[in-house]
Amino acid sequence: MADRIFEESRLADVYDLFDSAERPDLAPYIEMTHEFGAQSVIDIGCGTGILACRLAALGKDVTGVDPAAASLDVARRKAFADRVRWIHGTTEILSGVQSDLITMTGNVAQVFVTDEEWIATLRKCRDVIQPGGRLVFEVRNPSKEAWKDWNREQTYQVVNVPDIGRIEKWVDLIDVQLPLVSFRQTFVFQKDGTVLTSDSTLRFRNKFEIIDSLRSANFHVDDIRDAVDRPGLEFVFIARR
């Protein structure tokens, strides 16, 4: 089941407004499609479809997969969305699809909180990646303890949206029981006073746990890079079938 922020239509509709329009975090993924000569790309946890649509605009054969129907509804309204194959569901329904590259951006790789579902996801990815193809994803470095900044004071944002009005958003840390961290996002729609919240839990695996899991799924770790938008705070894994 998707978190409410992705599944509740009112939240999905405004989700992109709280991120930088340029989304510098996505640029390395686009560059890697060129670096690795990938023509077909599967974006797992594609959300509102920003990366998928940008890749489609470049002529890539793109499949966007997400369990949240509301997010996919937003994705389908974007430019070049008609060139993307949208799949409502998880990696379990990717049978028969083949790809040169699979991406998991943002927090996607950390939403698989049990070892069983994480390994199952990696194995499914390997099944659908072409021989020599790659899986690319990012995870936060747990030693940097990013959750210490997840509070209202440091995460408070406000946007003003035509026809919707002023929207406030912030994050509150709920619980830290490593390797699991839970937090709540709160949205206040000032126009009608509606307050909506979405709770999430992420699994913080260290670099060596990730390497071991990839090897267990029969991937070869080609490289571990830095994230351009959070230098020193994340690992970007490049694994090859």
pLDDT in tens, 166-195: 999 999 999 999 999 999 999 999 999 999
- Return the C-alpha torsion angle 98, 99, 100, 105, nearest 10: -150
Distance CA 142, CA 234 (A): 9
Task: Kindly indicate the confidence band of residue 68, based on its pLDDT and cuts at 50, 70 and 90.
Answer: very high
Distance CA 158, CA 218 (A): 45
Tell whether pTM > 0.85: yes
Using an 8 Å Cβ cutoff, are 148 and 172 in contact?
Answer: no
Q: Rounded to the nearest 5°, which phi and psi values hold at 141?
A: -75, 110
Structural tokens at position 175: 């619980």
pLDDT for the residue numbered 100: 97
The residues facing 24 across adjacent strands are: none
The H-or-E segment that residue 24 falls in is none
Structural tokens at position 25: 């975090």
Task: Kindly indicate the confidence band of residue 4, based on its pLDDT and cuts at 50, 70 and 90.
Answer: confident
Using an 8 Å Cβ cutoff, are 228 and 25 in contact?
Answer: yes
